[in-house]
A and B are shown apart, each in its own frame.
Chain A
């Protein structure tokens, strides 16, 4: 299997698009930042006036406006506005039911007792609560932007990541535009309208495309129809939505209904995602968003909104508690980027554990400090330093054992299975640390998982050096080679929907979980697990165990792969060095002799021929080494050409005949074979390597038969090369197509080679969409087969 090159290279078109996206992102952020800065430096009136049967009165007072600070109350009537009598000023708003305070710069109000109250924005500073409110909204937006940008850069091709970014931008515009608009900069209200109108629909779109299981929806143009109400509202807004700089009430109501519909749709989609999700991951994503929304809303509700509604006093001012809204974008961002979603009850458990530890430590330290201070009347600087050091030491000593102790206690009391499973993970981790051999490590991983969960089978696919995956260890039902092939097939056409923690049973009934083992950024293997013997479902504790096993297994496997790769590299260097030096010695030796001596013509010719032959050997070895290097770095370029098989066969046979005079070559090819669709040069190399092998491993000569026949149903042509040589034993068959493997038998003494020919043949054949296999019996010869795709022109079958 040839792996495509997955470097961070990006086409120039994409780079330009990314630059443009970044430019637009930072432009919108800059506009919002300017609005926030203006908002924090300007005061605002915060008063809404409305007209009813009793004339114009104050309808609404904003908490942090100057009007509220001046003691103006709802229901009081205006006397003078902006230096004009109120009636004269309000005359032009006769058609409006409600006017917002942004047009009011100076107002005098008369209250029920006939007292006058005046507020003038000139030379006034904003209230400190208004400053805190703006600052905290800015912080929330900043976190939203940062989260959006991080998620977008991490997953640039994920639509949900892009939408999260847009949500942050539109929220920033909505909030900053609203605040700066209230402070008299009317142009900003258009930005507010864009932000507020788009935000709920962007949010709805985000939840629609967030689950991987809706991947198909991401590119469907119809989905963009959901923005239709928002776009219509935006177009109509400047035309019929505003009069005299004041929002037209009926249009404002429609706009509000639009927001409501967007938000309701968002909640509906989130609920639908949770309850109708096919994939476990989708449910986890929704849980994360739900918990982040609760973390955002509960503090505001409990500490600010409810106390104010009941007692007219907040426990924590809403200007401060609104900071917790930042949990929402963080939760959304986490749901997009994470591949391993944390079990939420584990998070809560950890929260309890660490909360308890902090509490215990705080009590102990406070007691220690209190007692120390009480012990003496006055504490000097040296004593304070000593006290701080002792307290720090006590904290450090307490933290380790206390954390472990309390965690174990919570596990034992509330999570019995978790407790047992954690012991298993710990003991697995300890055992894995003392192993170095890849197969031993794989066996331990598969054995522990299968036995603990009582599964019908398990199989570990490990990344080979070439990047393809290979079966390393199997147990139970996966000892069957046809099932292993099925697993390899699943691995080759995998998608995130079947990856753990999702179930993989939808794609293969024998497969419960398909768990990629990832160490750092590198996937090192795949743990494939079958269902339980009892056919019971996997519990959340089982999932927890599998997550733990996957983490420790990935690290152990990664280390073992590094050791394996280093050993392969050493072998490569050692074999390459030895194999290159042998022909090089002949080239250097004979050249040296020719320079020093003056041999007769016949000897001179013989030496020159030796130099020539050994130079060709050198060239062939270098080719092999380069091919291996290309394969292992994934830089294989396979052409797709229509090739006449007899032509390639004849060329390969011509070259093979030049290397031997002991062998008889027989060609047995079906007549009228169709052409093949393949890479001509590489097919020639594969046949050349197989013929070379047939010659080398039949040292006593004999017949080498090259056959080819068509398999029309499979649309393939099968070519075989049979020899009458020494044959291949069972032990060698499995390793024959790996790098540097050479058959070590008395009969192979003196047979030269790098042990790379069959490896290259296998990799080339598979890269061309073919297969390679062999049949052999010891001392009775071997037959190598390759099957390659036949070319069917239009009109033929």
Chain B
């Protein structure tokens, strides 16, 4: 599997953060990035495009990040998809909750591009 074929789905409702993630991933070789601003739409994109990794914000309107994570991980067709939770909350209980929902990793805001890309690379290499 070559790097070019790796698909990242970014699920985030904050315009500013989406724009930042776009700037981070746009310039990187080997990734194709998809974006969604709400969880329901993200679920259908995930089913249709089968991304390798999802960068998922916890605070989303209607269905939150934990619920979306659980839905994806409980779907056999998508359970292999790696999920990085993105959160403004730093407490251990939030990290634990993400873990219980099935997230593979967790990154707190604010983050650097290097830290995020490194986590993505690590998860994809472990595949």
Q: Write the residues of chain A forming the contact surface with B, with a CB cutoff of 8 angstroms.
A: 574, 577-590, 592-593, 596-597, 603, 607, 610, 614, 746, 749-750, 752
Checking B13, B109, B114 against A581 with a beta-carbon cut-off of 8 angstroms, the contacting residue is B109
Candidates A574, A584, A750; contact of B109 at CB < 8 Å: A584
Question: How far is the CB of B57 from the nearest CB of chain A, in Å?
Answer: 10
The smallest C-beta distance from A587 to any residue of chain B, in angstroms, reads 7
User: Do B109 and A585 touch (CB < 8 A)?
Assistant: yes
The reply to whether A577 and B112 form a contact with Cβ atoms under 8 Å apart is: no
Contacts of B127 in A (CB 8 A): none
Q: A577-B89, A582-B14 are in contact. Are A593 and B23 (CB under 8 A)?
A: yes
Contact: A750 with B15, CB < 8 Å?
yes
Task: Give Cα A577–Cα B108 distance, bound, in whole angstroms.
Answer: 11
Query: Does B90 touch A at the CB level, under 8 Å?
Result: yes
- Complex interface: chain A residues within 8 A of B111 (CB): 585, 588-589
**What's the nearest-Cβ distance from chain B to residue A355, in Å?**
58
Contact B89 A585 (CB under 8 A): no
Prevailing SS type, chain A contact patch: helix
CB neighbours (8 Å) of B88 from chain A are: 577-582, 585
Contact assessment for B20 and A584 in the assembled complex, using a CB-CB cutoff below 8 Å = no
Cα of A588 to Cα of B108 in the assembled complex, Å: 12
Contact partner of A750 among B19, B23, B37, B108, CB < 8 A?
B37
A588, B89: Cβ atoms closer than 8 Å = no
A585 touches B59 (CB 8 A): no
Kindly state the separation between the CA atoms of A465 and B102 in the bound complex, as whole angstroms: 39
Q: Contacts A585-B110, A585-B111: A578 and B16 contacting too (C-beta < 8 A)?
A: no
> Are the C-beta atoms of A577 and B23 separated by less than 8 Å?
no
Q: Are A584 and B27 interface neighbours, CB within 8 A?
A: no
Would you mind naming 26 contact pairs between A and B with Cβ atoms under 8 Å apart?
A574-B89, A577-B89, A578-B89, A580-B88, A581-B88, A581-B110, A582-B16, A582-B17, A582-B88, A585-B16, A585-B111, A586-B16, A587-B110, A589-B20, A589-B23, A589-B24, A589-B113, A590-B23, A592-B113, A592-B114, A593-B24, A596-B113, A610-B20, A749-B13, A749-B38, A750-B15
Contact between chains at A582 and B109 (CB < 8 Å): yes
Interface contact tally, CB-CB below 8 A:
70
Shortest distance from the beta carbon of B61 to any chain A beta carbon, whole Å: 4
Cα-based distance from A579 to B17 in the complex (angstroms): 13
B-chain residues with CB within 8 Å of residue A596 when the two chains form the complex = 113-114
Number of B residues with CB within 8 Å of any CB on chain A:
25
Q: Which chain B residues border A586 with CB–CB below 8 Å?
A: 16-17, 19-20
Question: CB-defined interface of B11-38 with A at 8 Å, one 1/0 digit per residue?
Answer: 0011111011001100100000000011
| Residues of the A chain whose Cβ atoms lie less than 8 Å from the Cβ of B113 | 589, 592-593, 596
Contact A585 to B24, CB < 8 A, known contacts A593-B113, A596-B113, A750-B37: no
In the complex, the chain B residue whose C-beta lies closest to that of A591 is B112
Q: How far is the CB of A742 from chain B (nearest CB, A)?
A: 12
Residue of B nearest to A578 (CB): B88
Contacts A586-B20, A589-B113 aside, 8 further interface pairs with beta carbons under 8 A come to: A579-B88, A580-B88, A585-B110, A592-B113, A592-B114, A614-B16, A749-B13, A750-B15
Whole-angstrom distance between the Cβ of B19 and the nearest chain A Cβ: 7
Bound-complex Cα distance A578 to B13 (A): 14
- Give the Cβ gap from A406 to chain B, nearest Cβ, in Å: 53
Give, as a whole number of angstroms, the nearest-CB distance from A288 to chain B: 55
CB neighbours of A589 from chain B (8 A): 20, 23-24, 110-113
Cα–Cα distance between A597 and B38 once the two chains are bound (Å): 30
Q: Nearest Cβ in chain A — how far from B17, in angstroms?
A: 6
Q: How far is the CA of A583 from the CA of B90 in the complex (A)?
A: 16
How far is it, in angstroms, between the C-alpha of A642 and the C-alpha of B88 when the chains are bound? 44
Q: Are B112 and A588 touching (Cβ within 8 A)?
A: yes
Q: Which of A580, A581, A596, A614 has the most CB of B within 10 A?
A: A581
For the complex formed, measure the closest distance between the CB of B119 and the CB atoms of chain A, giving whole angstroms: 14
**CB atoms of A610 and B19 under 8 A apart:** yes
CA–CA, A53 to B17, complex, Å?
117
B110/A588 in contact, CB under 8 A: yes
Which residue of chain B has the shortest Cβ distance to A587 in the bound complex?
B110
Query: With the chains together, A587 CA to B88 CA distance in Å?
Result: 14
Seen from chain B, the residues whose Cβ lies within 8 Å of a Cβ on chain A are: 13-17, 19-20, 23-24, 27, 37-38, 59, 61-62, 88-90, 108-114
Hey, which chain B residues are within 8 Å of A574, CB to CB? 89
CA distance A593 to B24 in the complex (A): 7
Q: Distance in Å from the Cβ of A206 to the closest Cβ of chain B?
A: 60
Complex CA distance for A603 and B23, rounded to whole angstroms: 9
Contacts of A578 in B (CB 8 A): 59, 88-89
Closest to A579 in B: B88
- In Å, the complex CA distance between A597 and B26 comes to 12
User: How far does the alpha carbon of A704 sit from the alpha carbon of B108 in the complex, in Å?
Assistant: 38
CA distance A580 to B13 in the complex (A): 16
Quick one: given A593-B113, A750-B61, are A585 and B90 in contact (CB under 8 Å)? no
Residues of A within 8 A of B59 (CB): 578
Question: Please, how many angstroms separate the alpha-carbon atoms of A100 and B119 in the complex?
Answer: 104
**What is the minimal beta-carbon distance from B70 to any residue of chain A, in angstroms?**
21
**Residue of A at shortest CB range from B14?**
A582
Query: Could you tell me if B89 and A590 are in contact, using CB atoms closer than 8 angstroms?
Result: no
Closest residue to B13 on the A side, CB-wise? A750
Given contacts A581-B109, A589-B113, A750-B61, whether A610 and B89 have CB atoms under 8 Å apart is: no
Minimal beta-carbon separation of A179 from chain B (angstroms) = 72
**Across the interface, which residues of B come within 8 angstroms of A584, CB to CB?**
109-110
Q: From A603, which residue of chain B is reached at the shortest CB distance?
A: B23
6 A-B pairs closest in CB distance: A581-B88, A588-B110, A578-B88, A585-B110, A585-B109, A581-B109
Q: How far is the CA of A589 from the CA of B27 in the complex (A)?
A: 14
Closest beta carbon of chain B to A442's beta carbon, Å: 31
Nearest CB of chain B from residue A621's CB, rounded to whole Å: 12
Cβ-closest chain A residue relative to B19: A610
- Which residue of the partner chain B has the closest CB to A588? B110
Distance in angstroms from A357 CB to nearest chain B CB is 53
- Bound Cα distance A235, B77 (Å): 108
Residues on the B chain within 8 Å of A752, using CB: 14
CA distance A749 to B62 in the complex (A): 9
Q: Nearest residue in B to A592 (C-beta to C-beta)?
A: B112
> From residue A150, how far is it (CB to closest CB) to chain B in Å?
48
- Give the distance to chain A from B94, nearest Cβ to Cβ, in Å: 10
B11 to chain A minimum Cβ distance, whole angstroms, is 14
For residue B42, give the distance in angstroms from its CB to the closest CB of chain A: 14
Min distance, Cβ A619 to any Cβ of chain B, angstroms: 15
**A577, closest chain B residue (CB):** B88
Residue of chain A at shortest CB distance from B17: A585
Complex interface: chain B residues within 8 A of A614 (CB): 16
Q: Which residues of B contact A585 (CB under 8 A)?
A: 16-17, 20, 88, 109-111
Q: How far is the CA of A592 from the CA of B61 in the complex (A)?
A: 29
- Return the chain A residue nearest B57 by Cβ: A582
Q: State A574–B91 Cα separation when bound (angstroms).
A: 10
Shortest CB-to-CB span from B41 to chain A, Å, is 12
Cα(A343)–Cα(B48), bound, Å: 79
A610 to B19 Cα, complex, angstroms: 9
- Give the distance in Å from the alpha carbon of A588 to the alpha carbon of B112 in the complex: 7
Task: Report Cα–Cα, A584/B62, bound state, in Å.
Answer: 25
Q: Give the distance to chain A from B20, nearest Cβ to Cβ, in Å.
A: 4
Q: Which of A581, A583, A587, A607 contacts B23 (CB 8 A)?
A: A607
